[in-house]
Structure 1
């Protein structure tokens, strides 16, 4: 995996040097509001306990700096706090975080996972019709997952860095102010994998010398699967429609 990431970085540097030479200094900042449908299960070992999670609104914030220097990558930082609450009636005994929950009990679950993504990327293409960015992303997942009954509660904490490959692409529809975008990152950690992807359509609301404003509407899916990471087995999926605004200074 490390060799693959190194090869990808070297290749992207070579392809992007000329494209970056034509770029100008710019700052991008945005926020997305995401109505996520949540499904999943977790435990300290196999088999995992499934829960019925309630839909929840999530927010994502990001900022990116692009510059004219060749070879030196652009940088993007994104932050999201993923929260969820669910419930289950146990069909079998469930042992979690040192706590024993008996079969037939009603238990609830709560998730609080803070995600910070640090991305270094290059512009492979950057013209009025097509934009493609490629890079490497380090995702930091930190938080806790709790199971609670009427008598007791058990909590496990997750604190991991996950290496990922990042891609962002946009195709503009001339003379309309519209564009179609696909972006996301994918990676692997221990015996699990993670992906975070989105696709949709955007409209250039403001376009002048001071600031550009772009409205976005699309669908996003995030899947986190880990096996034995920080004493956790988890298979969690967040997916749903999102809307956002992006400013370019």
Structure 2
């Protein structure tokens, strides 16, 4: 009992004696990105996926991460990304969707209202001014709706969906001490049977404000997300989203 009390007191004393800075006991990272996104691919209610031509869109991504000094408990990061876009196609085969049957040569317009929320648990394997390395797991929630409309008759069909995809997660960052210049690669990946999902980004960063209380960093890079999925709430999709992004991150 006395030994337990002594150990507890020693731990508390160690935390109290540490200098107070953004990384001492608890660090919070919050960021936002604007993404100029191109889209390729298509979707269906079965394996016969209809390919659509999609418009480039600017979408957004927001995230917050919480890091601490407790070794056993993982850090947590939550990322919310939108993938909304519009497109169209001239059907080369019969397409059934949302209870509607569209014959060959029908011109379809489509709207994708899609978002993902990443719930990431990770550990810092390495963390210093030169390099950092994180590894963990990601539960990616994919949700939204696909809408198709016959451009001639305006006959509409809609399907919504929501599901979780378990993925591996990793992040590697490097920096040049004393310059504020750095770079990182971050991503999640899954490949099981006929399902293949990836989401990665690479960026250059510049830390233009750095203090004990608050850091500001700007980012410029490239992001790619692929969703090759079968039967998430009955939806089949083979979609790829990619393009340049710019963002800002606050660390306090």
Shorter-chain TM-score above 0.5: yes
* Equivalent pair of 2:76/2:120 in contact (CA under 8 Å): yes
Instruction: Give the structure 1 partner of residue 52 of structure 2.
Output: 51
What pairs with 1:15-94 in structure 2 (closer than 5 Å)? 24-94=25-95
Equivalent-residue separation in structure 1 for 2:220 and 2:168 (angstroms) = 23
- Please tell me whether residue 219 in structure 1 is matched to residue 222 in structure 2: yes
Query: C-alpha displacement at 1:175, in angstroms?
Result: 3.2
Partner of 2:5: none
Q: Which runs of 5+ in 1 are unaligned?
A: 1-21
Return the alpha-carbon distance in structure 2 between the equivalents of residues 143 and 188 of structure 1. 22
Correspondence 1:152 to 2:161: no
**Aligned equivalents of 2:172, 2:218: Cα separation in 1:** 16
> Structure 2: how far apart are the matches of 1:190 and 1:162?
13
- Separation in 1, partners of 2:193, 2:156: 27
**2:197–2:225 CA contact under 8 A, matched in 1:** yes
Question: Does structure 1 conserve the Cα–Cα contact (< 8 Å) formed by 2:204 and 2:220?
Answer: yes
> In the aligned structure 2, how far is the partner of 1:183 from the partner of 1:152?
42
Does structure 2 conserve the Cα–Cα contact (< 8 Å) formed by 1:42 and 1:49?
Answer: yes
Unaligned runs of 5+ in 2: 1-22
Note the C-alpha offset of 1:23: 5.7
- Offset at 1:136? 0.8
Measured after TM superposition, the shift of residue 106 of structure 1 is 1.2
Cα distance in 1 between the residues matched to 2:148 and 2:78:
31
Q: CA deviation at 1:160?
A: 0.5
Q: Note if contact 1:190-1:227 (Cα within 8 Å) is conserved in structure 2.
A: no
List aligned pairs for 1:157-236, cutoff 5 A: 157-188=160-191, 191-236=194-239
**Hey, what does 1:133 align to over in structure 2?**
134
Note if contact 1:217-1:242 (Cα within 8 Å) is conserved in structure 2.
yes
Deviation at 1:122, TM superposition (A): 0.5
Between 1:60-69 and 1:173-182, the stretch displaced more is 173-182
Encode CA deviations 1:180-214: one digit per residue, 9 max, x unaligned.
Answer: 11001112467312110000210011001221001
1:58 to partner: Cα distance = 0.9
* C-alpha separation in 2, matches of 1:104 and 1:120: 47
Deviations 1:15-66 (A, max 9, x none): xxxxxxx964110000011000011111122321110000001100000111
- For residue 228 of structure 2, give the secondary structure of its aligned residue in structure 1: strand
Query: Do the aligned residues in 2 keep the contact of 1:162 with 1:188 (CA within 8 Å)?
Result: no
| Structure-1 separation of matches of 2:94 and 2:73 | 54
Matched length: 228
Q: Deviations over 1:71-106 (max 9, x none)?
A: 111111111122011011112221112111122221
RMSD: 1.5
Q: C-alpha separation between the residues in 1 aligned to 2:163 and 2:192?
A: 9
